[in-house]
Each structure stands twice: as C-alpha cells, then as structure tokens.
Amino acid sequence: MYPRKLIGLIVVFLLVAPGVRAQTKTLAERRGYPADAKLLIVHADDLAVAHSVDAASFDALDKGGVTSASIMVPCPWLKEVAAYAKDHPNADLGLHLTLTSEWKTYRWGSVESKDKVSSLLDPSGYLWPETGPAAQNIKAEEAEREIRAQIERAIAAGIHPTHLDSHMGVLFSRPDLFAAYVKVAHDYHLPFLAVRVADERAKLLSLLSGKDPIVDSIVMANPSVQAGQWKESYENAVKNLKPGLSEMIVHLGHDDAELQAVTIDHPDFGSAWRQRDYDFVTSPDFKKMLEENHVILVKWRDFK
C-alpha cells in the first residue's frame, strides 16, 4: 500500500522518497502480497447488453465466480444493471466504454446527441458494427465526447464505476483513441484496463502515470477453442499464469431465446459460448484450480 499524505512536509517527504523506491516493487508487493504473487481479476464483459447476459453475470458476481464486471452504457438494459448496483454497493462494476453495436438484428446508438458524434454512427444511425470501420471513421474528439457522456449517464443512473475498459478494443485501436481513453480515465480518477505489450504499441503506455496498474496478461477464450475443450483450455491458462496481474475476461449469458436472437448468425461470443463461460466460472472446478495454482483473486476496486 502507498502511504497516504496525512500532515505537513515531513509526510510529503516520506511520501515521495518511498515512492521512488516503490517503483521497483511489483504491483503485488505494493498491495501487500508476495513479490511473485499471481493476482487475477476474473472479469465479465458486456453487462446491460441483454437481460440474459445481466442475469448470468449477476449470478456469477453473487457466487464469486467473477470478481468484476463492466457495463455497456448505451445498451437498453442499463437501468437493470443500475438497479443491481444499487442493491449490491460492493459489486465491482466498471464501464465497458462502447463505440460499436455488433449484432445483426439488435442495435443501439450513441448516448451523446447524434449530431455531436456523427463519426461514431453507421449509415443506419447506430454505432458501427465492427472495430474495423469504427477505427477507420471515428474522430477522436467525438469518441472522447461520447465516452464522457457514457460515464455521466452511468453516474446519473446511480452507478459508481470502479474502472474503465473498452468494448471490442476500439479505444486500443488507434493512438489518439487510446490517448482520449487515458485522459478521460485520469480526469475521473478511475483505473482502466491497459495491457503490457512487447510490440510497438508499448510506447502508448508512456501515457500512463506511475500509479496506473498495468495488466501483465489477458486470458480469454477464442474461436479456436472447441466447445468440448472449454474447461481444459481455461485450466491450461490458469496453470500457466505468471506472477503479476492478469485478467481473465469472460462473456456470460444463459443460452436462451433472447440471447440466441441477439447473437444470431454469430457463434463467436454467441449464446452457447456465453453459457459455457457461465458454466465454467460458476463451477467448483474453477474454484479448485485457482486454489491449486495459488491464484489470488483481486478486483478493479483494489487499484482505485
């Protein structure tokens, strides 16, 4: 833990001096864990997109199957999540800043007035359906305007967000969009998802302050994983977790009529996929493999 500024100059001196040394400590050490601890946030994406996703995610949060989740503010079910947040003030809920509307027969638009963010909208008036056209068309200043509007709408709905991240990675897709994301996160004093990378994108991390946590690795199911290998794939990932902070990103839902219709013609991240993720994170097997591999579960709130 960082010491806090309490009184006078001596304390400020003490704050700065250990602060310099603290930079050499690991994220885990700075939070009181062993230097080589394996910290893991288990994170459910896409809350508010559909009732089926909300119901499954609330259940997984309640059961401790996930530690954190994030909310898609422009989606129709925001008030359902706000009601849950009100009833569960300790739930670790962030905002899944949303600049895409990716399903075929079920769409949403911007929170900000359309004429102020026209570059964010496709010809139908909804947010772009894919990261590609979004990254090609979006003006960074309009993205910033929209994500501020999303944060303000969430706060107005009674949500106290614990962190920010980016739906479909749109805000990680261009340096100016990433800069807007970091700037807004800093303005609201919110931790945000930023991942340690080895390629040229690493230079973007220079925008971070020394206090911003960096996630060392992401675990997420991908379309190459066969349905029958779901648990095995996650088990391998848990066994291979390295010391540091990792985030396991899951997409939860019940494989029902609503979610099948939302994800129609799109098996990747589809209805059956989300049921598999839900079944996995709420299973005793998952809890057991975390224990056997000495994984310490943490939340975004721990980094606020």
Among 69, 71, 78, 252, binds a copy of itself (CB under 8 A): 78
Binding-site member from 108, 172, 181, 300 for a copy of itself (CB under 8 A) = 108
Closer CB to a copy of itself, 80 or 165, in the complex: 80
Q: Give the span between the Cα atoms of 284 and 287, in whole angstroms.
A: 5
Q: Is 272 in the site for a copy of itself (CB under 8 A)?
A: no
Q: Measured from the CB of residue 125, what is the shortest distance to a copy of itself in angstroms?
A: 6
User: Is there a contact between 94 and 154 (Cβ–Cβ < 8 Å)?
Assistant: no
Contacts for 209 with CB less than 8 Å, ≥ 6 apart: 186
Binding of a copy of itself by 122 (CB under 8 A): no
For a copy of itself, the closer of residues 165 and 255 by Cβ is: 255
Per CB under 8 A, the segment of 121-129, 163-171, 220-228, 279-287 that binds a copy of itself is 121-129
Query: Between residues 51 and 301, which has the closer beta carbon with respect to a copy of itself?
Result: 51
Contact 217, 41 (CB under 8 A): no
User: Is residue 106 within the footprint of a copy of itself (CB under 8 A)?
Assistant: yes
Alpha helices in the chain (DSSP H): 8-22, 27-30, 51-63, 78-87, 131-137, 140-156, 175-187, 230-239, 257-262, 271-281, 284-292
Q: Cβ distance 177 to 138 under 8 Å?
A: yes
Q: Which of 30, 153, 186, 287 binds a copy of itself (CB under 8 A)?
A: 153
Candidates 116-124, 216-224, 233-241, 275-283 — which segment interacts with a copy of itself by CB under 8 A? Answer: 116-124
155 near a copy of itself, rule: CB under 8 A: no
Compute the distance between CA of residue 20 and CA of residue 182 in angstroms, rounded to an integer.
23
Is 115 a residue that touches a copy of itself (CB under 8 A)?
yes
- Find the angle CA(224)-CA(293)-CA(42) to the nearest 5 degrees: 60
Q: Give yes or no for residue 243 binding a copy of itself (CB under 8 A).
A: no
Beta bridge partners of 69: 44, 93
Contacts of 17 (CB under 8 A, 6+ apart): none
Residues 6+ apart with CB under 8 A from 218: 195, 246, 247, 248, 249
Pick one of 22, 30, 59, 107: the residue that binds a copy of itself (CB under 8 A): 107
Closest to 132 (Cα-Cα) out of 180, 174, 179: 174
Q: How far is the CB of 113 from a copy of itself (least distance, A)?
A: 4
Instruction: Kindly state the smallest distance separating residue 23's Cβ from a copy of itself, in Å.
Output: 42
How far is it, in rounded angstroms, from Cα 288 to Cα 292?
6
**Of 114 and 211, which CB lies nearer to a copy of itself in the complex structure?**
114
Question: Contact between 147 and a copy of itself (CB under 8 A)?
Answer: no
- The binding site for a copy of itself (CB under 8 A) comprises 50-52, 54-55, 76-80, 83, 104-109, 111-116, 123-125, 153, 156-157, 254, 256-258, 261-262
